[in-house]
Amino acid sequence: MRTQVAIIGAGPAGTLLAHILAQAGIEHVVIERQSRDHVLSRIRAGVLEWGTVETLRRYGLGERMDRDGHVHNTINIAWRGEEVLSIDTVDRVGKRMMAYGQTNIQEDLYRAADERGAAIVFEADDVALHDLTTDHPSVTWSSGGSSGGSAGGRTERLDCDYVAGCDGFHGVARQSIPAGLRREFEKVYPFGWIGILSETPPLPILLYANHERGFGLCSMRSPMLSRYYVQCPLTDTVDDWPDDRFWTELLGRLPRSQAEQIVTGPSIEKSIAPLRSFVAEPMSHGRLFLAGDAAHIVPPTGAKGLNLAVADVLYLSHGLIAACKGDPGPLERYSDTALRRVWGSVRFSWWLTGLLHRFPGQTDFDQRAQEQELYHLSQSALAQAAMAEQYVGLPY
Ligand code: FAS
Ligand code: PHB
């Protein structure tokens, strides 16, 4: 087979890139390791920067989001178990956010792909990238085999002009850049988040919590689907967190005024996510270009992961479209352009994670210093604007 752009990974980055390239008439094929249902089964991001909202609308992907999404005007942080500071992002920086789950976005992207008859190869095993530093890269994989590997399966080959590595943190694309040419920056946090979905009415606001027992977060997916998180030790498993313990810990980390508004109920999904900051430089190698989690990971505290993937795809699609039409300039600048925004979001997510979580070995001084910064944030319009402009998303 032959195409112009081979896209590795059919998560939000890969399928949004495919959607934009299709509208520009650029031929492409998406190659995904998992099944379509497996990709759709993942519960991940929930808050969209306004730039992401406008991007989805611009490419005809906003109809269900505008119908079912919930627009937020404030970021709220509970602290010391009694205070709640509220940052009005419209007052401070003239922008809003949208609560609309990544799962919904993925469903919308797959539906659009079906409508245009997109070429997405699911359950591709042993994906490998070849000749990335030549003018004729290619991708191989095995399909139709037994459960794992190429045993009994056919080996497929796709010749292409460019490869977009949208295959996430554990993918093959970043690993296809020689280690000697990659520089990686990583910070692993000494805790995780346990998250649940419950079919209960959510709080009307997005509420973070700093508490000496640890971080908490109240979010939503729809008027009858709530998303909650509680900081937990990395050594914990889901089995350590029966629903009763989860609700007790969450409510115990909130002021009574908020806790008494929370409607508890049985969890319909429960998972633990580790927290890490990671950036791989550069985000390109020959004809390979990385986008999304393939190149960077942020702790979900700042709600940046999915939004960064969208920004990368916007820059990369612009570069690929220009290159396929004879102008190599934007693509040559892709890595530098994307990394400038990546590091902005990585730093912001690191800062907010440090402000809101209880670190092992944290002293009473450390807790007080966090609470003083939260007090300053509650009192200073300038401090609130500085946080709000990064939370709702800086201009592309
Ligand atoms: P993805 O990982 O979503 O997609 C990569 C795709 O590539 C996957 O479908 C994978 O199966 C496929 N793939 C992997 N290896 C392959 C190979 N060798 N060949 C072919 N395909 C391959 N972000 C937030 O903003 N807020 C959150 O609350 C939040 N929570 C998260 C919780 C978890 C557990 C995780 C892992 C991430 C979370 N994120 C969150 C971040 C997340 O939303 C990512 O930023 C987002 O999925 C990035 O999208 P992609 O870059 O497309 O990567
Ligand atoms: C979510 O709704 O899943 C969510 C919201 C805000 C975050 C992280 C996750 O910072």
Q: Which atom of ligand 1 is nearest to the CA of 173?
A: 18
**Do residues 369 and 338 both lie within one domain?**
no
97, 49 Cβ separation under 8 angstroms: yes
Cα of 13 vs centre of ligand 2, distance in Å, is: 18
The enclosing domain of 163 has a CATH number of 3.50.50.60
**Do residues 80 and 51 both lie within one domain?**
no
**Do residues 254 and 145 both lie within one domain?**
no
Catalytic residues, by residue number, are 72, 208, 300, 304, 391
Helix (H) / strand (E) containing 263: none
Cα of 352 vs centre of ligand 2, distance in Å, is: 13
**Do residues 255 and 129 both lie within one domain?**
no
Q: Which of 43, 44, 206 for mutating ligand 2's site (highest number of atoms within 8 Å of CB)? A: 206
pLDDT digit string, tens, across residues 251-263: 999 999 999 999 9
Tell me: pLDDT of 151 over 90.
no
**Do residues 127 and 222 both lie within one domain?**
no
Provide the residue range defining the domain that includes 174: 5-62+103-185+276-348
304 domain-assigned: yes
| 8-state DSSP, 24 | T
pLDDT digit string, tens, across residues 123-143: 999 999 999 999 999 999 998
Neighbours of 97 (CB within 10 A): 26
pTM across the whole model: 0.96
**Do residues 270 and 301 both lie within one domain?**
no
Alpha-carbon span 179 to 189, nearest angstrom = 24
Cα Rg of the chain (Å, integer): 21
**Do residues 148 and 262 both lie within one domain?**
no
302 domain-assigned: yes
Secondary structure of 55-100 in the HEC alphabet? HHHHCCCCHHHHHHCEEECEEEEEECCCEEEEEEHHHHHCCCEEEC
- Name the 3-class secondary structure at 99: strand
> What's the chain's length in residues?
396
pLDDT digit string, tens, across residues 354-368: 999 999 999 999 999
214, 230 Cβ separation under 8 angstroms: yes
Given this model, what pLDDT does residue 119 score? Answer: 86
Closest ligand, as measured to the CA of 45 = 1
pLDDT digit string, tens, across residues 223-240: 999 999 999 999 999 999
The dihedrals phi and psi of 230, each to the nearest 5 degrees, come to -135, 135
Q: Is any atom of ligand 1 closer than 6 Å to the C-beta of 72?
A: no
Given this model, what pLDDT does residue 153 score? Answer: 77
Give whole-number Cα distances, 143 to 121, 126, 128, 231, 322, in Å. Answer: 9, 9, 13, 40, 32
353 domain-assigned: no
Q: How many domains does the chain have?
A: 2
**Do residues 271 and 126 both lie within one domain?**
no
Tell me: pLDDT of 150 over 50.
no
Pairing verdict, β 162-165 and 5-8: parallel
Cα of 193 vs centre of ligand 1, distance in Å, is: 16
18 domain-assigned: yes
**Do residues 289 and 334 both lie within one domain?**
yes
Given this model, what pLDDT does residue 143 score? Answer: 87
Alpha-carbon span 86 to 84, nearest angstrom = 6
Alpha-carbon span 228 to 246, nearest angstrom = 9
**Do residues 79 and 227 both lie within one domain?**
yes
Cα of 150 vs centre of ligand 1, distance in Å, is: 24
**Do residues 225 and 369 both lie within one domain?**
yes
pLDDT digit string, tens, across residues 307-328: 999 999 999 999 999 999 999 9
